[in-house]
């Protein structure tokens, strides 16, 4: 079971950079610096909220900026606050997000001392040109170096990847995905690049020097990456930005493939691919498909059908399938019991080639 996360957003505190895509105030909706007292109030309040089960672990998360870029004494104050809750057993872990180049040995030793168990690194891309165009101010190698240091300190490490940045094409995204597999973080989050108001990217966009991905292009890139990471056994714990009223305020999103159901669309695309592969292979071997029956988990139905039944319609049209029947059955999520005329198959969207 995933832990119950108590997020403390620290937008831009500690970050002297202005990456072209970033406006942390827009993403978090918070403009005032977080104080330790405010952090304590939020933790106490959220600890009183009902959780899925009493066994569900609780973690405090410092998100929204580059935590390890804060002055040392400020980091210590926040970490000491979190550690108090860990010591009393009210909280089981502490996590934070930061840049890859803000994780030297001394910094990691401090995190280890205060019991931080997970660090999420804003890697964004592992293509040097893309990083340079995004004005990240560090080399691609920084992510691997940080990952190795964290591993040596037994701190879990997640990568946050941003697809569709300026200068990124399929080849470049492929490189980022392959390099990520080689470095092997413990988990991954994938976000599409959105043009936010007040960013460098907005200026490029308004001058016509940057074209954000279309929604379907972003879904394809994310689905490709998810399929590869799944195959490599690296969990993808989130795809797409968290929807929020702050983000949706008029004028905050200028352009780009933002969709509240982005993650669902990616899962749906994976179903479309696995079904298309199966029907294509069957058709090549046995000819025309008269009837396709699909037994599925109850919760997969909307992803299999796709938006407005699009997946089913495309499949039917592409392979000229006479009839498609869907029914619920006790199969695991992601797995399909397919019957094409007299042939039976078990397929899973985790096993896309």
The residue among 156, 186, 149, 6 whose CA lies nearest residue 82 is 6
- Determine, following the binding rule CB under 6 A, whether residue 10 of this chain makes contact with ligand SF4: no
Q: Which of 5, 7, 17, 40 binds ligand SF4 (CB under 6 A)?
A: 17
Burial class of 184 by CB neighbour count within 10 A (0 to 12, 13 to 18, 19+): middle
- Determine, following the binding rule CB under 6 A, whether residue 131 of this chain makes contact with ligand SF4: no
Q: Which of 39, 93, 100, 122 binds ligand SF4 (CB under 6 A)?
A: 122
Q: Which of 4, 6, 24, 188 binds ligand SF4 (CB under 6 A)?
A: 24
Q: Which stretch binds ligand SF4 (CB under 6 A): 14-22, 229-237, 252-260, 313-321?
A: 14-22
Non-local (6+) Cβ contacts of 142 within 8 A are 99, 100, 101
DSSP 33: P
Number of residues located near ligand SF4, criterion CB under 6 A: 11
- Determine, following the binding rule CB under 6 A, whether residue 349 of this chain makes contact with ligand SF4: no
Tokens encoding 189: 């989050």
Helix (H) or strand (E) segment spanning residue 130 = helix 128-133
Q: Which stretch binds ligand SF4 (CB under 6 A): 19-27, 82-90, 150-158, 324-332?
A: 19-27
Q: Which of 3, 18, 293, 297 binds ligand SF4 (CB under 6 A)?
A: 18
- Determine, following the binding rule CB under 6 A, whether residue 15 of this chain makes contact with ligand SF4: yes
Tokens encoding 6: 């108590």
- Determine, following the binding rule CB under 6 A, whether residue 201 of this chain makes contact with ligand SF4: no
Tokens encoding 337: 């019991």
How do 291-296 and 323-328 pair as beta strands?
Answer: parallel
Say how far apart CA 350 and CA 102 lie, in whole Å. Answer: 34
Question: What is the smallest separation between the CB atom of 151 and ligand SF4, expressed in angstroms?
Answer: 22
Say how far apart CA 139 and CA 100 lie, in whole Å. Answer: 9
- Determine, following the binding rule CB under 6 A, whether residue 192 of this chain makes contact with ligand SF4: no
- Determine, following the binding rule CB under 6 A, whether residue 19 of this chain makes contact with ligand SF4: yes
Tokens encoding 177: 């995905």
Burial class of 175 by CB neighbour count within 10 A (0 to 12, 13 to 18, 19+): middle
Question: What is the smallest separation between the CB atom of 330 and ligand SF4, expressed in angstroms?
Answer: 44
The residue among 104, 82, 84 whose CA lies nearest residue 94 is 82
Site track for ligand SF4 across 87-106, x = CB under 6 A: ------------x-------
Say how far apart CA 239 and CA 161 lie, in whole Å. Answer: 10
Site track for ligand SF4 across 51-80, x = CB under 6 A: --------------xx--------------
- Determine, following the binding rule CB under 6 A, whether residue 163 of this chain makes contact with ligand SF4: no
Question: What is the smallest separation between the CB atom of 284 and ligand SF4, expressed in angstroms?
Answer: 47
What residue ranges bind ligand SF4 (CB under 6 A)?
12, 15, 17-19, 22, 24, 65-66, 99, 122
């Amino acid at each position: 079971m995933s832990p119950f996360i108590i997020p403390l957003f620290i937008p831009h505190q500690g970050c002297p950079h202005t990456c072209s895509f970033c406006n942390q105030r827009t993403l978090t909706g918070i403009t005032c610096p977080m104080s330790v007292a405010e952090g304590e109030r939020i933790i106490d309040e959220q600890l009183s909220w009902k959780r899925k089960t009493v066994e569900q672990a609780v973690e405090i998360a410092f998100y929204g900026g580059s935590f390890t870029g804060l002055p040392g004494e400020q980091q210590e104050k926040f970490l000491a606050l979190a550690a108090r809750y860990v010591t009393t057993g009210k909280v089981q872990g502490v996590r934070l997000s930061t840049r890859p180049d803000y994780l030297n040995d001394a910094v990691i030793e401090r995190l280890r001392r205060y019991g931080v168990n997970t660090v999420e690194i804003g890697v964004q891309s592992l293509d040097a040109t893309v990083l340079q165009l995004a004005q990240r101010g560090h080399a691609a190698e920084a992510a691997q170096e940080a990952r190795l240091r964290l591993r040596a300190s037994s701190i879990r490490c997640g990568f946050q990847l941003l697809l569709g940045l300026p200068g990124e094409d399929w080849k470049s995204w492929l490189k980022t995905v392959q390099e990520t597999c080689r470095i092997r973080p413990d988990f991954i989050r994938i976000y599409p690049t959105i043009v936010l108001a007040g960013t460098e990217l907005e200026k490029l966009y308004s001058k016509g020097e940057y074209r954000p991905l279309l929604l379907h292009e972003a879904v394809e890139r994310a689905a490709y990456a998810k399929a590869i990471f799944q195959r490599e056994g690296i969990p993808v714990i989130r795809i797409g930005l968290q929807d929020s009223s702050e983000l949706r305020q008029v004028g905050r999103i200028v352009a780009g493939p933002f969709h509240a159901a982005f993650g669902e669309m990616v899962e749906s695309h994976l179903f479309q691919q696995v079904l298309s592969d199966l029907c294509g292979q069957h058709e090549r071997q046995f000819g025309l498909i008269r009837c396709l029956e699909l037994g599925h988990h109850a919760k997969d139905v909307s992803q299999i059908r796709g938006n407005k039944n699009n997946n089913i319609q495309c499949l039917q049209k592409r392979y000229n399938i006479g009839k498609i029947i869907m029914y619920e059955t006790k199969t695991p999520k992601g797995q399909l019991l397919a019957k094409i005329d007299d042939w039976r198959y078990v397929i899973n969207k985790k096993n896309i080639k």
